[in-house]
Amino acid sequence: MKDAERARFKTILTARRAELAAMSRDSAVARKPVELDQQSVGRLTRQDALQQQAMANAQEVRRVNEQRKIDAALTRIDDSNYGWCEECGEAIAVRRLEIDPTALRCAACAGA
67: exposed, middle or buried (Cβ count in 10 Å: 0-12, 13-18, 19+): middle
Q: pTM for the full model?
A: 0.80
- The range of the structural domain enclosing residue 29 comes to 3-82
pLDDT at 112 over 80: no
d(CA 83, CA 5): 10
d(CA 84, CA 105): 7
pLDDT by residue (tens digit) across 46-82? 778 788 888 989 999 999 999 999 999 999 999 999 9
d(CA 28, CA 23): 9
- Does 67 reside within a domain? yes
The pLDDT of 76-92, averaged and rounded, is 94
As for how many domains the chain has, the answer is 1
- Does 100 reside within a domain? no
- Does 107 reside within a domain? no
- Does 8 reside within a domain? yes
Model pLDDT, residue 44: 62
- Does 108 reside within a domain? no
User: What percent of the chain has a predicted confidence (pLDDT) above 70?
Assistant: 88
Model pLDDT, residue 27: 79
* β-bridge mates for residue 84, sequence order: 91
